[in-house]
């Protein structure tokens, strides 16, 4: 072990050490395995529920509303309290501070005050010596309700203008005139169902009271700062008395952005009241019933176009079923509006977004954050225009892409319209859409396969094949400007090892690894010399959620900023200490490299750091980053809400049994733009996983509520997520090469978390294509999602009846 204080003899010995020649590994651009991969597969990765129980730890169960809309007339919890093993029971009157824990807008009481607005809404909580006792005790409550009329249907809410937030609109040009003057005009609508997050690790937290009246919270949360803030508010204490720690989550997908906080708040109130550590882990049933989903949407379009299928005007309406409270619905419906064009220039367009209120659990963030529900509307339009004109859908898509100009479409000044501005006023810059689609069209052999499928469908009376190529243009940034910031903390120790902490959370996506690779790149050291610790609110404060595909963009740049600050001091020391030639100092292959009198000198990084420490050079720094250029004026509906766009495209081929509606995905080809990839294997894995999850949303995952507002698809027996057998027989995924991001992101990379989710839309579009072949591609089948065999069969029968 190196001594902290070196004698002249030790310095001489260091000078004589052999110089390391092995190249350092794990820098950006290299494929490295997930830092916890072996722990995941061996079971050694520690999640909140794996932590050893603390002395006197209590376990929580919650009693929820039996009705979707009701007034509580009386509550009798005597039998609950008297249950052997029950330590305490809390209701809303036991909350010391704020009752409403809405993340942005009010509407989410931590425990019901009087009015229940969805089945399962928490009314009281029980703490017992075991989880089994707590769950049994909950059932002994006697609650008297006055049942009120619920609104359970999004179209009914829309008719009644029953909204959680005001309607918003984007407007470009004069859509009404363009529609009236268009050579062709069609309308369409569809219901896009929601989606359960179905993370492997359910919602869970463990709360430990501290000696100063605060709380230490171990949470499975994508937003530790929000958990910290809301726990402080319900306890009526200052934020600095609450520390939240998140080492890893077993999946999140947006379901742990706002939905983790209620558990922590309930557990913290109980811990405050009893003075004991408290754990709250939801059962899968409770998790599905009591936490929000992806927003279902009811989408409508009215589009006008010319003989070539080029859009001249569009009136689009997207209505999100928000559930009972605002949660994040304002931003989610906004993003659906922003992405209702997907990759296509709408010309004169009006896009309206409604936030419908229903008496169901409040819907929340989910991978894509409303974007997929908007994108699928654009793809519905493209398919419908194509079949209206008798063209192949890919031809119509290519003609309407941003940046594709047409001689007959000109501006008011008579110039050819560049077709590069969205309906909300952002220019589509660094546009790769045409090139990307052209490359995929060739590599997937689209046209030959289309010809073969047409021949197959002519000769096959019962089985029909479908093919679709759909692109993605997805905006990267939080649409709420202040969230686009991040902090990081970097320490270098005297043996050359590095400690990294940042505000992002790890949910299996490889964020910790990617940010560590950024640090390895900056210091030119081996990745395995860098230790990343759990996300903690007392290390990096005021963090943004790990969401909006921004984790690496924000935290990677913040970590890089911390590294640059440390390097500035190190390099200044190196010039003075080694009397190095001007501008010759650099870090390379775990060494300090410099020129002295024209000759190259190399010092092992660890030795250099030790000498810098002796020279009293700072070896620790915070870092900070805020995304530039972004802005949005909500009043005018104009601005630049996104720093850049991520692009991709997918080709899916399916086969459909027209007698049963069953369908099978046979082949998928994906080409995706990730800029300069920080870790190609991780990025490909994200694309594959996102595609399968998107396919599941649109084909198998069906959320069903009965007429009493009760979720009946409340477990894995009644809710079908995609399994290995649902993956395509042939699955080809490629990254665009040599296409660095046009904006100054971390090493010119692009986000990869959410954009590829929308590649799953190509499966739904291909199924519609197969159904349309039943009517010789002359009719547009109505196919709401998910496209279950039942829905597919009904669509086939409808086409047969009309044909």
Residues 95 and 117: their CA atoms lie apart, in Å, by 20
Do 376 and 409 meet the contact criterion of CB atoms below 8 Å apart?
A: no
Do 252 and 507 meet the contact criterion of CB atoms below 8 Å apart?
A: yes
Which two tokens mark 350? 């009006």
Nearest 10 degrees: CA dihedral of 212, 213, 215, 216? 20
Which residue, among 554, 526, 485, 549, has the nearest Cα to 746 in the 3D structure? 554
Looking at the DSSP bridge assignments, the partners of residue 89 are 126
Residues 376 and 192: their CA atoms lie apart, in Å, by 9
Residues 528 and 516: their CA atoms lie apart, in Å, by 9
**Helix (H) / strand (E) containing 490:** strand 485-492
Nearest 10 degrees: CA dihedral of 234, 236, 240, 245? -20
DSSP string, 294-362: BPPEEEEEEEEE-TT--EEEEEEEEEEE-TTS-TTHHHHHHHHHHTTTTTB--SEEEEEEEEE--SSPP
Q: What is the CB neighbour count within 10 angstroms for residue 3?
A: 9
Which residue, among 261, 136, 254, has the nearest Cα to 207 in the 3D structure? 261
Q: What are phi and psi of 93, to 5 degrees?
A: -70, -10
Residues 774 and 92: their CA atoms lie apart, in Å, by 58
State the Cα angle at 87 between 85 and 90, rounded to 5°.
130
Q: What is the CA radius of gyration of the chain?
A: 28
DSSP string, 731-791: EEEEEPPS---SS--GGGB---SSGGGGGGHHHHHHHHHHHHHHTTT-S-----BS--HHH
User: Active site includes 754?
Assistant: yes
Query: Burial, 209: exposed, middle or buried (Cβ in 10 Å; 0-12, 13-18, 19+)?
Result: middle
Do 111 and 124 meet the contact criterion of CB atoms below 8 Å apart?
A: yes
> If you ran DSSP here, which 8-state letter would residue 581 be given?
P
Which residue, among 206, 278, 215, has the nearest Cα to 241 in the 3D structure? 215
Reduced to 3 states (helix: H, G, I; strand: E, B; else coil), residue 561 is helix
Q: What is the CB neighbour count within 10 angstroms for residue 80?
A: 23
Which two tokens mark 40? 């995941």
Residues 545 and 408: their CA atoms lie apart, in Å, by 46
Reduced to 3 states (helix: H, G, I; strand: E, B; else coil), residue 530 is strand
Which residue, among 379, 230, 241, 385, has the nearest Cα to 694 in the 3D structure? 379
Residues 764 and 379: their CA atoms lie apart, in Å, by 10
Which two tokens mark 461? 């009376």
Residue that has been written with the tokens 């020279």 in this structure: 615
Catalytic pick from 522, 754, 790, 798? 754
Which residue, among 117, 131, 102, 36, has the nearest Cα to 70 in the 3D structure? 117
Residues designated catalytic: 754
């Amino acid at each position: 072990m190196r001594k902290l204080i070196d004698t002249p003899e030790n310095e001489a010995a260091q000078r004589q050490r052999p110089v390391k020649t092995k190249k350092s590994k794990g820098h950006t651009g290299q494929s490295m395995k997930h830092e916890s991969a072996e722990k995941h597969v061996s079971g050694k990765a520690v999640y909140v529920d794996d932590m050893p129980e603390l002395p006197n730890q209590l376990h929580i169960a919650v009693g929820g509303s039996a009705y979707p809309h009701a007034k509580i007339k009386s509550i009798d919890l005597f039998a609950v309290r008297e249950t052997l093993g029950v330590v305490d029971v809390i209701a809303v009157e036991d909350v010391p501070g704020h009752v409403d824990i809405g993340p942005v807008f009010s509407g989410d009481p931590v425990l019901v005050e009087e009015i229940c607005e969805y089945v399962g809404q928490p009314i009281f909580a029980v703490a017992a010596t075991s989880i089994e006792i707590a769950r049994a005790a909950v059932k002994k409550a006697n609650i008297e309700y006055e049942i009120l009329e619920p609104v359970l249907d999004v179209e009914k809410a829309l008719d009644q203008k029953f909204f959680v937030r005001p309607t918003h609109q984007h407007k470009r040009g004069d859509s009404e005139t363009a529609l009236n003057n268009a050579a062709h005009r069609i309308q369409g609508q569809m219901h896009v169902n929601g989606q359960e997050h179905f993370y492997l690790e359910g919602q869970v937290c463990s709360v430990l009271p501290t000696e100063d009246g605060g709380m230490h919270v171990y949470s499975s949360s994508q937003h530790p700062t929000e958990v910290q803030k809301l726990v402080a508010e319900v306890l009526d204490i200052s934020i600095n008395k609450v520390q939240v720690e998140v080492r890893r989550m077993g999946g999140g997908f947006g379901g742990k952005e706002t939905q983790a906080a209620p558990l922590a708040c309930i557990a913290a109130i109980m811990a405050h009241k009893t003075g004991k550590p408290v754990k709250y882990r939801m059962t899968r049933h409770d998790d599905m019933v009591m936490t929000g989903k992806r927003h279902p949407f009811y989408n409508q379009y009215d589009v006008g176009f010319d003989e070539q299928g080029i859009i001249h005007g569009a009136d689009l309406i997207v209505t999100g079923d928000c559930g009972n409270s605002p949660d994040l619905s304002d931003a989610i419906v906004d993003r659906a509006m922003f992405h209702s064009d997907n990759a296509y220039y709408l010309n004169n367009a009006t896009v309206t977004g409604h936030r419908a209120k229903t008496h169901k659990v409040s819907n929340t963030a989910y991978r894509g954050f409303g974007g997929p529900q908007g994108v699928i509307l654009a793809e519905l339009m493209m398919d419908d225009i194509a079949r209206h004109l008798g063209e192949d859908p890919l031809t119509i898509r290519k003609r309407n892409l941003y940046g594709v100009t047409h001689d007959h479409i000109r501006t008011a000044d008579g110039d050819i319209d560049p077709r590069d501005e969205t309906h909300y006023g952002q220019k589509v810059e660094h546009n790769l859409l045409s090139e990307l689609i052209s490359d995929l069209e060739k590599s997937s052999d689209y046209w030959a396969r289309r010809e073969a499928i047409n021949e197959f469908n002519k000769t096959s009376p019962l089985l029909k094949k479908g093919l679709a190529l759909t692109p993605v243009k997805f905006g990267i940034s939080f649409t709420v400007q202040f969230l686009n910031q991040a902090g990081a903390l970097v320490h270098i120790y005297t043996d050359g090892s590095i400690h990294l902490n940042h505000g992002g959370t790890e949910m299996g996506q490889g964020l910790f690894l990617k940010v560590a690779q950024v640090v390895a790149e900056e210091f030119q050291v081996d990745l395995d010399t860098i230790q990343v610790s759990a996300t903690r609110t007392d290390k990096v404060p005021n963090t943004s959620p790990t969401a909006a595909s921004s984790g690496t963009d924000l935290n990677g740049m913040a970590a890089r900023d911390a590294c640059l600050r440390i390097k500035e001091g190190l390099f200044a020391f190196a010039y003075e200490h080694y009397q190095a030639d001007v501008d010759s100092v650099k870090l390379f292959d775990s060494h300090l490299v410099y020129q002295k009198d024209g000759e190259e000198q190399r010092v092992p990084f660890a030795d250099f750091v030790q000498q810098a420490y002796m020279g009293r050079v700072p070896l620790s720094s915070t870092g900070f980053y805020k995304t530039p250029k972004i802005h949005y004026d909500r009043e005018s509906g104009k601005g630049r809400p996104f720093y850049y766009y991520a692009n991709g495209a997918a080709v899916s081929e399916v086969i459909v049994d027209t007698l049963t509606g069953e369908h099978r995905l046979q082949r998928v080809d994906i080409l995706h733009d990730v800029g300069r990839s920080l870790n190609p294997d991780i990025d490909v894995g994200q694309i594959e996983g996102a595609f399968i999850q998107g396919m599941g949303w649109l084909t198998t995952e069906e959320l069903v509520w009965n007429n009493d507002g009760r979720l009946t698809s409340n477990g894995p027996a009644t809710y079908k997520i995609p399994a290995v057998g649902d993956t395509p027989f042939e699955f080809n995924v490629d990254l665009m090469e040599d296409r660095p991001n046009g904006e100054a992101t971390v090493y010119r990379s692009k986000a990869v978390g959410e954009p590829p989710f929308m590649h799953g839309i190509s499966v739904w579009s291909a199924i519609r294509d197969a159904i349309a072949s039943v009517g010789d591609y002359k009719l547009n089948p109505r196919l709401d999602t998910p496209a279950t065999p039942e829905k597919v069969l009904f669509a086939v029968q409808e086409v047969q009846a009309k044909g």
